[in-house]
Every structure is written in C-alpha cells, then in structure tokens.
Amino acid sequence: MVLWFLVVLGLLTLGPLWSLASGRVPLGGDWRTATHRSSGLAPDPETHREAIVQVYASRTFGWRGAFAVHTWLAAKPNHADRYTRYEAIGWFARAGHSVVSVSGTSAADAEWYGAAPVMIRELRGADAEAVIAKLPDAVASYPYEHSYSAWPGPNSNTFIAHIARKIPELRLTLPSNAIGKDYLPLGDVVARTPSGTGYQFSLSGLLGASAARDEGIELNVLGLVLGLDLRGPALKLPGIGRVPSGA
C-alpha cells in the first residue's frame, strides 16, 4: 500500500514539478504590473461580422500555474462590434460581489496576467448563435455566484463547466488541468461531463472519475487529473494537460 501511495503521489506531482523546473511557469513578476495584451486569436469584429463563440484557457498566475489553467468564454453576436467576455473572478467575492464577470471592455483573447491563452473551442455562424441565445440563462443559473475557492472549487473552471453542461450545443471539452471543472456540490455526485458525451462521479472535486467520448477516461485525485484520450490518442497528466501520442 505504501508503494502504491508513493507511485500515485509521484504521478500526481511530476507534471507540476516539471512545469516549474522547465520555466514554463514563471514565478517572478507582480500581478499589478502583469500584462493583459490581446494575443491576436480573436477575429476582428469589423471584418468578421458573423456570430463567434470562443473558449480560452491560460495558465493561472504564479506557482498555481504549475497546476492549473483559468478558462473563460468570449462571444460576439451576429454583426456586433465587440466581444463579451464571461468568466468567474475570485477576488470579486472578497468584496462581497458576484464572482461572475460579464464584460465588454476586456479583450476576448487577452493574456491572463502575462500568460498567453490557448483557444480550446470555437464556433461560428448559426452554431455560435445557438450558444449565444442560451448564454443569459446559463450564466444566471450558476449556483456559486458569491462563492469561490481556487481549490478544489467552485472557481473559474467550475463556472465554464456549468455553462457547458447547460448549453450542450457548445460541445466543450475542458483541459484536464482546469482544476475545478469536476467540482460538484455535496449531494450531487453524478453528472454529465462538460462535453455532454459521458458521465462523471465526483466528491466535491476532490475524488472522482469520468468516462466520455470526448473527455476520454479521467481519474481525479485531489483535483489533479490522470487520464487517457482514446480519440486522440493522448495522455492527460496533472499540471501539464494533454500530451499527444508520439510527442
């Protein structure tokens, strides 16, 4: 039992330790001066008039970035001149405000405190319009409006996972290192995965497992995910995320 515990512990911590040692997650810097520049991933609304929905993930600030990413959704209706950005922001709760941010002032594809984002989902045209039509109700139904916990949740990834479950047309598979995506309230231990293509079991995001067509097979231990993407194929490692076969 001790040997198995050490093996599991090693597998869970290897990815985050490698991320720190390799310099992929910078530990220096000041959040007050960190950049929020556009990364150029979002199409210009002036020249792309169709409806667009995009979901982004970016490493969280500081040492936490070795373990997790922050996710958000940006949407632009047909002929709109700007994007609206939907996300949950933890420090809003400290002032007693809702953690849910719906803003048209931040760039859709902005860096998250200096960390460049990766686009993980994009829909355009009629597919995007179908998602946008359901966004107001999905956002309004988020049950943790005044609660935020970076680990194990509810957090920014819990919010985006909630939207995905409420809007199956989004067909969203969240990164395995989006800690909080598997958070379910006490009493609700079984739910559809965010992609809607399978099911998951979770004890408040601390221990669980899932099997789905899009997510593959995932084992969640203390919020850290080990998994196998059968469609890719790829491994899913804590802190690192998806590692394609042959990479």
Is 70 exceeded by the pLDDT of residue 246?
Answer: no
CB burial of 90-114 (b: ≥16 within 10 Å; e: otherwise) equals: eebbeeeeebbbeeeebbbbbbbbb
- CB count, 10 Å around CB of 240? 19
Dihedral pair phi/psi, residue 81, rounded to 5°: -90, -5
- Between 244 and 7, residue with greater pLDDT: 244
User: How far apart are alpha carbons 23 and 66 in whole angstroms?
Assistant: 10
Mean pLDDT of 163-180: 97
The pLDDT score that the predictor gives to residue 139 is 98
User: DSSP per residue over 61-115, as a string?
Assistant: SGGGGGT-EEEEEEEE-TT-SS-EEEEE-THHHHTT--SEEEESSS-TTB-BTTB
CA dist list (Å): 99 to 102, 145, 148: 10, 6, 7
pLDDT at 149: 96
Task: Residue 27: count other Cβ atoms within 10 Å of its Cβ.
Answer: 10
pLDDT in tens, 104-126: 999 999 999 999 999 999 999 99
pLDDT of residue 19: 84
How many percent of the chain have pLDDT more than 90?
81
Mean pLDDT of the chain: 93
**Residues 102, 107, 110, 113, CA torsion sign:** negative
List helix spans (H) across the chain.
2-21, 91-94, 126-140, 156-166
The pTM (predicted TM-score) of the whole model is 0.94
The CA distance from 127 to 132, in Å, is: 9
Inform me whether the pLDDT recorded for 147 exceeds 80. Answer: yes
pLDDT in tens, 11-47: 788 889 888 888 778 777 888 899 999 999 999 999 9
47 Cβ contact list (under 8 Å, min separation 6)? none
Token pair 């048209």: residue: 104
Per-residue model confidence (pLDDT) at position 24: 78
pLDDT per residue as tens digits for the range 187-233: 899 999 999 999 999 999 999 999 999 999 999 999 999 999 988 89
| Angle between helices 126-140 and 156-166 in degrees, nearest 10 | 120
247 or 208, higher pLDDT:
208
